[in-house]
Amino acid sequence: MKLHDFRALSKALSEIENSGPQSLQILKDCYAAKKGAPILGVTGLPGAGKSTLVDHLIQHLRGAGKTVGVIAIDPSSPFTGGALLGDRVRMQRHASDEGVFIRSLGSRGSHGGLSRATRDLTVCLDAYGFDEIIIETVGVGQTELDIMGLATTTVVVLVPESGDAVQTIKAGLTEIADIFVVNKADRQGADGLQKMLQAMVDMDNSRSQALTVTIPVLLTQANQGIGVQELWRAVLNHRKALQKDSQHEKRQQTFRCAQFLELCGEAIRQQVESKLLSNKKWKDLVDQVASGKTNPYEALEKVLKYFQNVAGDGIDNAGLL
């Protein structure tokens, strides 16, 4: 499988997103061919101006001769269609640029979940050979926090609007920030928000010590490109700090382990589901539960017993290892 152009890449990404029959082979090949491009995560609450910021980051990177692959995670809505995706449209100015590839992922409908899809797509973009990979995601919810675990550097974007800081903290975003950006910095309250975030960063000693760099709190006006250069400098600084960080490789190992367990668990979960639906005896059980006649937890017990029986003791004799 060779990803020689955007069309081939798009096709491969679709196959992976839909867990098609070729997807495992593509992923094996992509992983073997991956180049280790750094991943920048950009997250924040709805309306923080993430897309605009990413748009200007792309421009900045293109100016420096870098190629960029972007995964943009957008809550999709069959009801509204694409009508409200103005952010995406704005990014279309990069459409004719062969050094930029943007892929949108809806928040629903990805086979096996959004964080699975994002992880696998990232491997593919890396194999294609982009210098930089950016993941943009709306930062509320468990899935979105999981996705940001993929990023080498995570930028959390806030705006000086009432409640935004508190909601960002409540959503757990402040814990995953390597860099804070106060966007729409021309608005009232930007300085106050910056001070508040700075105080919070100073308070959180433990994490800063581990990294030997403090988390910067930057001001941007994304719609005018103001502060984008400084942001990029901070990203590069963070990468340098990571290289010097003795804990980094250990954290990476923990992350790779967790990712692999999730990968296996999710793949087997999919197989179990399809088995339950395709095998006559199991399908009868599913139908009984669906009709409300059978206690689902009793049915679950049967399923679990079966899988324990077959997979419990024989595991050493499988001859596959």
Span 112-171, contacts to its own copies by CB under 8 A: 113-114, 138, 140-145, 163, 166-167, 169-171
Q: Which residues pair with 164 in a beta bridge?
A: none
For helices 296-312 and 248-278, give the axis angle rounded to 10 degrees.
Answer: 110
Q: How far is the CB of 152 from its own copies (least distance, A)?
A: 14
Choosing from 21, 63, 65, 78, the residue that interacts with its own copies (CB under 8 A) is: 78
Contact 104, 136 (CB under 8 A): no
In the region spanning residues 36 to 75, those forming contacts with its own copies, defined by CB under 8 A, are 45-47, 74-75
Tokens matching residue 254: 């923990």
- CA-CA distance, 24 to 120, in Å (whole number)? 10
For CA atoms 166, 179, 225, 103, the dihedral sign is negative
Is 10 among the residues that bind its own copies (CB under 8 A)? no
Site track for its own copies across 172-211, x = CB under 8 A = x-xx----------------------------x-------
Pick the closer one to its own copies by CB: 176 or 213.
176
Residue pointed to by tokens 């309250």: 189
Q: Does 247 bind its own copies (CB under 8 A)?
A: no
Binding span for its own copies by CB under 8 A among 2-10, 49-57, 222-230, 306-314 = 306-314
Stretch that binds its own copies, among 22-30, 150-158, 219-227, 232-240 (CB under 8 A): 22-30
> Residue 164 gets which letter from DSSP?
H
Contact 118, 149 (CB under 8 A): no
DSSP 8-state code for residue 175: G
Tell me the closest approach of the beta carbon of residue 57 to its own copies, in angstroms.
Answer: 22
Q: Which of residues 251-290 bind its own copies (CB under 8 A)?
A: 252-254, 256-257, 259-261, 263-273, 275-277, 279, 281-282, 284-287, 289-290
DSSP code at position 128: H
Query: Given candidates 79, 98, 188, 209, which one binds its own copies under the rule CB under 8 A?
Result: 79
Closest CA to 232 of 86, 99, 132, 313: 132
Cα 226 to its chain centre, rounded Å, is 26
Q: For residues 80 and 233, which CB has a smaller minimum distance to its own copies in the complex?
A: 80
- Asked if 95 interacts with its own copies (CB under 8 A), we say no
Tell me the CA distances in angstroms from 79 to 17, 113, 264, 285, one per residue in order.
21, 20, 33, 34
Q: How far apart are CA 44 and CA 237, in angstroms?
A: 21
Q: Is 245 in the site for its own copies (CB under 8 A)?
A: no
CB nearer to its own copies: pick between 100 and 158: 158
Residues 208-227 that bind its own copies (CB under 8 A): none
